Amino acid sequence: MIRCTFAHVDLGALESNYRAIEAFLAARTPAGRRPPAIVAVVKANAYGHGAGPVALALERAGARMVACADIEEGIALRQAGVHVPVLVFGALSVSDLDGLFEYRLTPTCSTPGAGKALQAAAARHRQVLDYHLKIDTGLNRLGFRHDNLDRTLPELLAAPNLRCAAVYTHFATADDPGHPLFDLQLERFASARAALASRGVTAASVHAANSAALLRDPGTWFDAVRPGLLLYGLAPAALAGVLALRPALSLRSRVVAVKNIRQGESVGYSARYVADSPRRIATVPAGYADGLDTRLGGRGEVLVNGRRVPIVGAVSMDMLAIDASSGPVYAGDEVVLLGEQGGDRITVAEMASRIGSIQYEVLCRLGSRIERRYNRP
């Protein structure tokens, strides 16, 4: 029996979003210059959409490279049949690096320790390994500090089995137009690139722009851009509406039970909801084990028969309750937790706002037991 809570992923929407980004870049690139390449970010199971099918769809659409979080994600992409280069973002100083060579993955070098580990592994495999060098310009997670390159880079650049194929950074506040750190990071990145050029690193490509920076400032595009959220049909709130996008994922279920409760009776764990009048309560088989936030109880809504219906009581591990008193609801009726029904839509941005979170978290938390069903263009 197939569980009735599932995610529908529209691969046609993904390809359409890719082409919309591509057209946006082409239209705003000065004459005589080549538009930046698109590195399609498919980390975290393609933001909950399913990394293998999504990466293959983006490869068909024209993506020249895809990017993931770690070696294990990269291996999964290769095993799914992805052929384009795969960039691994994550720290590698404490990883088993053999997968880089067996599965033809491109590592990020973001610390001196990672450089030593990559050189040793490349020498052992008797290969010259291309890597992307990450510069920390203010996010203060991974990356060689922009102001300490004279001390930290010489050993890496002298490594005989490593070759710097690209240089990049990552913005901390690209989705906040008023924050001064964005421009400061750009200045620091320019200084870092000048320092690299003085050491002979001139042939490497350059990339910096995530989805927000891509929309905000063509000065961040360089040789390539790294959209993530935009590919899935969503945009940072401050930049929504700049691009015409199609959300690629909807989350659907069905009513499995309906019952009437009396005034004063409660629903769910901890009796958080108490009926102030006779109510009709429907049960939906989706809960926090599927990635739905417990804060949706008393705050979120779903769509049933084209109407908005409130979630009441506690969201439990496998189920949630909705107040279906406003109209006829029966066992078997479709429930839309994310997506469109009857001309209305529950958006990822709306769900994130209801629980005080962000769109990325809503999508990435969708559980592994939720079947992803794909329509293929």
So which residues are the catalytic ones? Answer: 43, 269
Q: Which of 305, 306, 281 is nearest to 297 (CA)?
A: 281
Residue 9: beta bridge partners? 249, 374
Contacts 24+ apart (CB under 8 A), 266-273: 266/313, 267/312, 267/313, 267/321, 268/297, 268/312, 268/313, 268/314, 268/316, 268/321, 269/313, 269/314, 269/316, 270/314, 272/297, 272/298, 272/313, 272/314, 273/297, 273/298, 273/312, 273/313, 273/321
Instruction: Tally Cβ neighbours within 10 Å of residue 139.
Output: 15
Are 80 and 99 in contact by the 8 Å Cβ rule? The answer is no
Torsion angles phi and psi, residue 118, rounded to 5: -65, -40
Are 138 and 184 in contact by the 8 Å Cβ rule? The answer is yes
Instruction: Tally Cβ neighbours within 10 Å of residue 66.
Output: 26
Which uninterrupted H or E stretch holds 20? helix 11-28
Q: Which of 213, 365, 216, 194 is nearest to 291 (CA)?
A: 365
Cα–Cα dist 177/173, whole Å:
8
Q: Is 5 helix (H, G, I), strand (E, B) or coil?
A: coil
Cα–Cα dist 155/126, whole Å:
19
Listed in order, strand segments (DSSP E) in 148-204 are 162-168
Are 297 and 268 in contact by the 8 Å Cβ rule? The answer is yes
Q: What is the DSSP letter of 175?
A: T
Q: Which of 201, 203, 220, 202 is nearest to 211 (CA)?
A: 220
The DSSP secondary structure of 52-90, one letter per residue, reads HHHHHHHHHHT-SEEEESSHHHHHHHHHTT--S-EEE-S
Q: Judging by beta carbons within 10 Å of its beta carbon (0-12, 13-18, 19+), is residue 82 exposed, middle or buried?
A: buried
